[in-house]
Amino acid sequence: MSRYGAQFGPDITFLGVPSCDLAESSGYADADVVILGAPFDGGTSHRPGTRFGPQAIRSTDYLGHDGSRPSLALRTDGLKDLKVYDAGDVMMTPGDITAALGALEAAVQTVTESGAIPLILGGDHSIAFADATGVANALGHGRISMTHFDAHADTGDIEFGSLWGHGAPMRRLIESGALRGDRFLQIGLRGYWPEPATLDWMAGQAMRSYEMTEIVHRGLTDCLTEAFGIAIDDCDGVFLSVDIDVCDPAHAPGTGTPEPGGLSARQLLDSVRRICLELPVVGIDVVEVSPPYDHADITAALANRVVLEALSAIARRRRDAETGQAWNPLLPLLADRPASRPKPD
């Protein structure tokens, strides 16, 4: 089998990292992270377009596609310190959501079984079912906790007569037993959905949802710290699912179901950094980027940086584990600077 490449557009990789063919395991045997595109928007309930998300996330950056991005804040190069490959897109059959999700689940499981972290570029959020199930198939059902950034709970039951829309993947993951409801952390919920019956179902599963109201009242830092404690309690790893609509539409306009009043881009990037620094992340997806609704590439650029922030922080976590030293986030601000500047004459 040869590399499928990109389903829509030219066969490019994330900022120029090496490519691999998922069918040739020798080509990524040393991988720390394998990127997969999931260009599927058949689960969308409102505005479509996320089938073009993977290509936009891979390429939206003002620097060269040279496979290197040194992080100012973390003093790591996520694309060089880690072995990162881009396996291209999974064939996501338009109009056949069960075929598409089945192919994606198999691909994610293959990556996880190889020992690498799968990093999936969506696609609408229906793909999270395949992403987290693929990881859980490899590492154990009920052994992986979920940290889920989103404006929406995505715990709906049946939408448009289907079990598989982008409003329902989190319910399906808990119903199937792939993930535990009581290790399911949601951050950023707001707006006018879901209805009380679904909230009752979520409470019955012991899900923990940090709504924007609580985040504003308590502060994001405290909420994350509390969530992290739940996430690592009797679990072997953490899946990070980032729906870009967790951010305010001012910071992420290019998405299918925008909900005002969300996180800032800064808050999302800091949260992703903390999760990947402090938790044993075993899988990541970044979803709901819809380039046709984007303006000035704002949303695609943010999603590109979400990926880089995650990779930079995973690299930092691994280096700190080797050296036994905890990272001080203020270090780059203190190092290599003169204690005082000469006064101008």
The interface with Mn ion within residues 114-133 (CB under 5 A) comprises: 125
Whichever of 77 and 157 has its CB closer to Mn ion, that residue is 157
Residue type, 112: T
| Upstream peptide bond of 291 is cis (omega within 30 degrees of 0) | no
In angstroms, give the least distance from the CB of 127 to Mn ion. 10
# residues near Mn ion by CB under 5 A: 4
Residue 76 or residue 255: which is nearer to Mn ion going by CB? 255
Q: Give the helix/strand (H/E) hosting 284.
A: strand 281-287
Angle CA(280)–CA(330)–CA(318) in degrees, nearest 5? 25
- Using alpha carbons, list the distances in angstroms from residue 49 to 41, 46, 193, 254: 6, 10, 22, 9
156/174 Cα distance (integer angstroms): 12
Residues in a beta bridge with 244: none
Distance of alpha carbon 206 from its chain centroid, rounded? 23
Q: Which is nearer to Mn ion, 62 or 160 (CB)?
A: 160
Nearer to Mn ion, 243 or 285 (CB): 243
Q: Which residue has the tokens 């505005």?
A: 47
Examine residue 154 and tell whether it contacts Mn ion (CB under 5 A): yes
Supply the minimum distance, in Å, between the C-beta of residue 44 and Mn ion: 10
Indicate the residue among 6 and 174 with the shorter CB distance to Mn ion.
Answer: 174
Q: In what order do the strands lie in the sheet with 33-38?
A: 84-89, 33-38, 117-122, 281-287, 237-243, 144-149, 184-189, 208-211
Task: State which of residues 41, 81, 150, 259 lies at the interface with Mn ion (CB under 5 A).
Answer: 150
Query: In sequence order, what are the beta bridge partners of 119?
Result: 35, 284
Min CB(244)–Mn ion separation in Å: 9
Residue 32 makes contact with Mn ion by CB under 5 A: no
Query: For Mn ion, which stretch binds (CB under 5 A), given 75-83, 146-154, 202-210, 276-284?
Result: 146-154
Kindly state the smallest distance separating residue 32's Cβ from Mn ion, in Å.
27
* 86 versus 243: smaller Cβ distance to Mn ion: 243
Q: Residue 248 Cβ, how far from Mn ion at the closest point, in Å?
A: 15
Torsion-angle region of 125 (φ positive above 0: left; ψ -120 to 50: alpha; else: beta): alpha
What is the x/- site pattern for Mn ion, positions 188-227, by CB under 5 A? ----------------------------------------
Applying CB under 5 A, the residues found at the interface with Mn ion are: 125, 150, 154, 243
